[in-house]
Structure formats: C-alpha cells, structure tokens
Amino acid sequence: MCGTQLDIREALLCADCGNGLPSNTGACPVCATPGKGGIICATCLQSQKQPIKQIFCAYRYEYPVSQLIQHMKFNSRLDIATYFGKKLASLAIQQNTDRPDCIVPVPLHPSRLRERGFNQSLELARIVANETGVPVDYMICDRLLNTATQTGLSARQRRRNIKGAFKVNKNACSQYRHVTIFDDVVTTGSTVNELARALGKAGITQIDVWACARASFV
C-alpha cells in the first residue's frame, strides 16, 4: 500500500499499514455495527429475537479494507484471504470468543462459483480453521438461488432478495450444536441471518458469525 519493501517477517502489508487498518473496536457487541461505543445498539435492543447470538468482525468496511477485499474477490488474490484469515483468527482468540463445533462458510451459487473460480468465504474460513483448530464444514448447506447482487438494495430489498436462498442438510447438522457462519463482509446482515434461520430449523442451537469486515449501512 505504501510502497515500502516488506521485511522478511512481513506478509502482504508492512507493519505500519497493517496497524493502520480500521479495526472494528467499539462496535455493538451483538451485531458488530461500528461506532456504538462498545454498548448494545438501539436496533439490537428493540429487535425481536434473532437466530444469531453474536457477530464478530475484525475491521470496518472502509478504505483500504474495502479495496483489499474487492481485490481478493475479483482479482483472485488469495494472499489477501490468508492475511485477513490469520488476523481474524488471532483477534477471535484474543477476545476469547466462544469456540464453535464447526465453521460454515456462506456458500456461493454454483454458477457464481464457476464464474469466480473460488468461494472467498471458504478460503478465508480455511485459514481461520488452520489457526484455531475449528473444522470447516462446507457440505452441510447449499445456495439454491442465484440471487442478484445486494449492492444498491435497501435493507428490506436485501431481505426479500435472499429469502429462501439456502438449503441445509438436517442429517449432516445432527453432529453439531454450535456453528459459526463465516463471510467476508456483513452489511445489513440479511445474508447471514437467512442462512442462520435455515441452520436453526435444522436443529443448530447456537449460531455466531465471524467476518472480515462490517459495513455501516445507511
């Protein structure tokens, strides 16, 4: 980012650039919305019971994190996935987040997977699994609908767009009670909440979300 030659012990970003990334400190401890002073936000206090117990996001979805994630997804920069995966795993361990039975990456529709060549959420989850020892299970759910991009949609439109998009194998879920959904970015939470509802119907009793970044949706 800054053009400085990396030290042999550094990967992707130099120490100064890495330390300068916008960490999501002071976020709502339930939904991880940035800038809430570390207290539960009004939306979470007023909302009805949600299937997700807690969302944990390492960074705010702002420059340069937003640019790095875009490069990862659309330029096949899996080295960026490695960097973010290791950082998120380290933070999750430091904050003593509840250890799940498995990590479930948000699946892509097969046509989107063929187009991109990889699922960024799965690649990130694999790095986190290597760092934490929590296994990844990407076989228990599928994406049935090739939904339109959520970009530019309102919160209500996002919920409607993603409704019914996921199918969960109830038999495959029987070995788990606590799972963590993994995604690259959480914006309104529509996607992870829809997947969480499907997992809950399949018998999962505790569901968390880990993601690289949390956007401030207006």
Report if residue 16 sits inside a domain: no
Considering the entire predicted model, what is its pTM? 0.92
Report if residue 17 sits inside a domain: no
User: Which residue, among 145, 163, 166, has the nearest Cα to 153 in the 3D structure?
Assistant: 163
Average pLDDT over residues 205-210: 96
For the chain, the domain total comes to: 1
Report if residue 11 sits inside a domain: no
Q: What is the DSSP letter of 212?
A: E
The domain that holds 139 is classified in CATH as 3.40.50
User: Which residue, among 217, 214, 215, 213, has the nearest Cα to 87 in the 3D structure?
Assistant: 213
Choose between 158 and 214: higher pLDDT: 214
Residue 218 predicted with pLDDT over 70? no
Cis (ω within 30 of 0) for the bond into 64? yes
Cα–Cα distance measured from residue 109 to residue 124, given in angstroms and rounded to the nearest whole number: 17
pLDDT digits (tens, 9 = 90+) for 130-158: 999 999 999 999 999 887 666 666 677 77
pLDDT digits (tens, 9 = 90+) for 75-116: 999 999 999 999 999 998 888 788 999 999 999 999 999 999
Report if residue 154 sits inside a domain: yes
Report if residue 207 sits inside a domain: yes
The parent domain of residue 160 ranges over: 22-214
Report if residue 98 sits inside a domain: yes
Task: Write the CA distances from 37 to 52, 71, 148, integer angstroms.
Answer: 21, 30, 34
